[in-house]
Amino acid sequence: MNTKQIHRFVLKYLEATQCEILDKSPYHIKVKLSQAADRELTNRPYYWSFIDRLNETPETMSFLFVTDEEKYEATVAQQPVEEPKLLTPEEKAMERAYGIVPKPLPRIPREHLHFGSSRLKQLFESAENNGSYVCLYQEPQTRTLHPYDSRPYTVWLGINYMVEFSCDLKREEIHSLGISLVTGHCQEQFYDRLTSMRLSPRLPANVHIAKNGISYTKALSIAESHLEKRLKSYNYEWAEKAQARLQEELERLEGFYKPLLAQATDEEQKLEIEQLKEKREEEIRWQYEPRVTVSVINSGIFHLDGID
Amino acid sequence: MNNRLFTTNSSNDDTHQKPIHPAVNVNFQREWFKELQQRIEHNGPWDQWSMFQLAMEAREATVIHSFDELLCLRSLPSIEPMPHQLETAKRVLNEMGGRAILADEVGLGKTIEAGLILKEYLLRGLVKKALILVPASLVLQWVRELNTKFGIAAVAQKKSHSWGYEIVVASIDTAKRDPHREVVLATDYDLIIIDEAHKLKNKKTTNYQFATQLSKKYCLLLTATPIQNNLEELFNLISLLKPGQLGAQGEFNSNYVADKRLPKNEEQLQHILSSIMIRNRRGDGGIHFTKRIVRNITLELSKEEQALYDAVTDFVQQQANQDGIDISSILSLVTLQREVCSSRDAVFLTLVNMFKKTAEDSPVRARVWELVEVIRAITSNTKAEKALEIINECEGKVILFTEYRATQEYLLQFFEKHNIPAVPYRGGMNRGKKDWMMDIFRGRARVLIATEAGGEGINLQFCNNMINFDLPWNPMRVEQRIGRVHRLGQTEDVNIFNLCTKNTIEEHILHLLHEKINLFELVIGELDHIIERLESKEGSIEQRLAKAILRSRSSQQLHEEIDHIGASITTYQEDKINN
């Protein structure tokens, strides 16, 4: 992710959570958080439980998120320093009485959102937690429909899979599959198809949903066997190597502990060594054992135009 | 969730397992499907489409495309690792399976290497729970470095609930004791880092026993001491990391050990070692240090100062010749002499304390009072004048080291009088104040007056002028001082000014450090090994020096004694080079 992509992401997140954008440039966003976003991001559970219990109006936090530190500094440097405002009569009175004029604006914390920063990581996690399950309808592409015509829509189960290949090393792949509940047909890169169309949470007019031919459970197993077939065709040299390393290490342990066990004088000592050996073996398996894990990033029910 | 929990052969409702290759199975996680079915049944609640897309975008941005490409660099804007540090991190991750001894020479950044490896594993999700065991004095420094340089939310272990955090820094002496011991041993750590690991060389110690009982997936042992010197110790250390890597104990002894310190089949041993240990050296290509330019400035004491020095020397000799004097009193007596060379304030303070401590009817009291009278005559400080001159000639900032608090206070006032902004730095300050002083020095102050250098390391790469107002007797402390400014990241040549007064013990000390040990030109990092070996055999250098000074009747004799001490250090030095 470059700074531009980060900026876009943050802006979209803040908009999706209905935050109030106070000021922005391509390099920064000044924002007053919505209640939902404040609860999600500011880690103030006591404050919120206080507000909830007393039914008080909450004061949400504001932030200055800087996405491009260098360019932001440059623009700030160019701006003229603001003239101090003239005091109103009330403020003058305050100043006479107390010696100070209370500042109305609280300080806005400034944060640099770069890739790897903890705030950005928090936004990522928040998005992942709050964007898991959707139910959406495609908006009709053309408005030329006859008012009494009805377009058939197909229900799709869309799944974004994360495939993890790991031993002591790790890599990942994202697989997006869509399964038509009408035909059982399985489509790859389904997410790309979704992002190219307009989707809405409401059923459009003049649309009817085709009858499902298969159950959700059946669709799931179609998706899994499709993915399984894909994965079977991969090269597993890495896993073979990891297995070999694992065996080698286990033999090494055997060689190390065998003489120790032979030398052990009493049962207690023997047991102790035995336990240590088991522990080491367990660790080595934990470290090297190859595994492929398929988890789901998010999924949803999508009602799309046409029968396929 | 700890990935160890998932066992290979179970398949339940939430996961679904299938073989896809003789070497590996695939696990489908199905928890999400139940949740989806429930939402379908209740017709909601459904998440927003925009959030769904953001979730995908986030995951696509963090997906790990390859097994071996280093990911941590793009998320670390605040550090720029050196090539040898990156190389080390890559080798540990990709070739050594995350279990290694990092044995770089002092000052090459083992902490950075360990931090890079930890960060990489965290980003890859291969490490969630990590334990970092370090000497107690380094706990906070580690936490600070991990937080600021690596953006890793490490926590210093303070209370027993601290163990619950994901990344904990603790001292091994605390961790091994009850009630902590039980908690630590019951936890499976994805990564354990042990700093100063050479302290674990003896397998009979409780620390070693404790270390063997820890559960770990990856493990890094950090040490700068060349453990190759003792094969038994080397074997023990490697047995912590990869038992059996050097064969069983018996095989190891017959294959590689000719004598305790003498290996055989060295080439083969080195080969095996290189698969488990990385040692970068200063001499290796790509690691560049700037030059040290050392200037010794010999000063003539003023008439009054010399009078004080002579009076104090008389007093010290007299006291030392009394019967039944112990080594610590000898040291404090000699300190008086050294203090005269620093400032009258320093010696005054010690004399006052001495006066208070002696019995009211003791004849010593009167003697001490006489000395105080001599101090009164002194109106200026020769060294301070010279230091001022040097500072005015230097471009940029200057760090000035002194051994004594009183001198530090005096110099602060002295510089203030001459309109040179200076700040103090000393061991007794708390962390916040230290950081504050450092900030001022970085900003508007020109001079930092410090009384300590080691321990809580201060890094001052932005400053390349250093004045030793007085010299510590222990060469290691001098080295630590220099190490503050002359380290990786220093871009300028480093100017070192040693202020030294003629016809005093200082002259002898400088002679020892500069001419005998050649300390100031010595390659950084060599010294600590030499001193460590010397002191383990012959006692601390300070004590040997103090004895020599009191024993000597003449300057000539002292000169010879000091030459002797110097020679013994040089022997070890040559020893090391020949090894």
Q: Give the model confidence (pLDDT) of A270-294 as tens digits.
A: 898 899 999 999 999 999 999 999 9
Residue B502 near residue B298 (C-beta atoms within 8 A) = yes
Partners of residue B21 in chain A, C-beta under 8 Å? 232, 236, 239
pLDDT at B542 over 80: no
* Confidence band of B576 (pLDDT split at 50, 70, 90): low
* Confidence band of B261 (pLDDT split at 50, 70, 90): low
Nearest to A13 among B54, B76, B216 (CB): B54
Q: Give the model confidence (pLDDT) of B470-491 as tens digits.
A: 888 877 778 778 877 887 778 8
Nearest to A292 among B27, B49, B50 (CB): B27
Residue B456 near residue B137 (C-beta atoms within 8 A) = yes
* Confidence band of A249 (pLDDT split at 50, 70, 90): very high
The helix (run of H) or strand (run of E) holding residue B16 is: strand B15-21
In chain A the beta strands, taken as DSSP E runs, fall at 20-25, 28-32, 62-66, 110-112, 133-138, 151-166, 170-180, 186-188, 199-200, 207-209, 291-305
What does the pLDDT read at residue B577? 52
HSE-CB of B422 using CA atoms within 13 angstroms = 26
- CA nearest A171: which of B26, B117, B124, B59? B124
Q: Which amino acid is at B364?
A: V
Do the Cβ atoms of B217 and A287 come within 8 Å? yes
pLDDT at B11 over 60: no
Q: Give the model confidence (pLDDT) of B61-73 as tens digits.
A: 999 999 988 888 8
Q: Give the model confidence (pLDDT) of A108-125 as tens digits.
A: 888 889 888 889 999 999
Q: Where are the alpha helices (DSSP H) in B394-518?
A: 405-417, 431-442, 475-485, 505-510
Range with the poorest average pLDDT among A73-87, A196-210, A216-230: A73-87
What does the pLDDT read at residue B2? 41
Identify the three-state secondary structure at position B358. Answer: coil
Kindly state the average pLDDT of the residues B9-28. 79
- Which residues face A294 on adjacent strands? A163, B28
Q: Give the model confidence (pLDDT) of B172-203 as tens digits.
A: 999 999 889 999 999 999 999 999 888 888 88
List CB contacts of B480: < 8 A, sequence separation 6 or more.
Answer: B453, B454
Residue A206 near residue A142 (C-beta atoms within 8 A) = no
Give how far B488 is from chain A: nearest CA, Å. Answer: 25
Q: Check residues A60 and B364 and name the one with the higher pLDDT.
A: A60
**Best of B8, B24, B212 to disrupt the A interface by mutation (most A CBs within 10 Å)?**
B24
Q: Which ipTM was obtained for this model?
A: 0.89
pLDDT more than 70, % of chain A = 93
What does the pLDDT read at residue B422? 93
pLDDT at A137 over 90: yes
Residue B516 near residue B570 (C-beta atoms within 8 A) = yes
Do the Cβ atoms of A216 and B29 come within 8 Å? no
Give how far B516 is from chain A: nearest CA, Å. Answer: 48
Closest A-chain CA to B38 = A133
Name the token pair of B414: 């002295």
Identify the three-state secondary structure at position B355. Answer: helix
Mean pLDDT over all residues of chain A?
A: 89
Q: Check residues B370 and A29 and name the one with the higher pLDDT.
A: A29
Q: What residue has token string 């701006």?
A: A79
Q: Check residues A163 and B438 and name the one with the higher pLDDT.
A: A163
Spatial distance between the Cα atoms of B231 and B253, rounded to a whole number of angstroms: 9
Long-range contact set of residues A103-111: C-beta below 8 Å, sequence gap at least 24: A106/A62, A108/A30, A108/A62, A108/A63, A108/A64, A109/A61, A109/A63, A109/A64, A110/A63, A110/A64, A110/A66, A111/A63, A111/A64, A111/A65, A111/A66
Residue B133 near residue B170 (C-beta atoms within 8 A) = yes
What does the pLDDT read at residue A214? 94
Identify the three-state secondary structure at position B280. Answer: coil
Do the Cβ atoms of A116 and B65 come within 8 Å? no
What does the pLDDT read at residue B565? 79
Closest B-chain CA to A217 = B33
* Confidence band of A246 (pLDDT split at 50, 70, 90): very high
pLDDT at A106 over 60: no
Spatial distance between the Cα atoms of B231 and A52, rounded to a whole number of angstroms: 66
Do the Cβ atoms of B60 and A174 come within 8 Å? yes
* Confidence band of B1 (pLDDT split at 50, 70, 90): very low
- CA nearest A259: which of B252, B299, B151? B252
Kindly state the average pLDDT of the residues A164-189. 94
Mean pLDDT over all residues of chain B?
A: 83
Partners of residue A298 in chain B, C-beta under 8 Å? 47, 52, 55-56
Range with the poorest average pLDDT among A122-131, B430-439, B516-525, B539-548: B516-525
- Which residues face A210 on adjacent strands? none
- CA nearest B6: which of A291, A243, A228? A291
Spatial distance between the Cα atoms of B203 and B133, rounded to a whole number of angstroms: 17
End-to-end CA distance of chain B: 49
Name the token pair of B466: 């250093």
What does the pLDDT read at residue B5? 41
pLDDT at B342 over 80: yes
Spatial distance between the Cα atoms of B494 and B489, rounded to a whole number of angstroms: 12
Q: Give the model confidence (pLDDT) of B507-535 as tens digits.
A: 888 888 777 767 666 655 566 666 666 66
Spatial distance between the Cα atoms of A55 and B388, rounded to a whole number of angstroms: 66
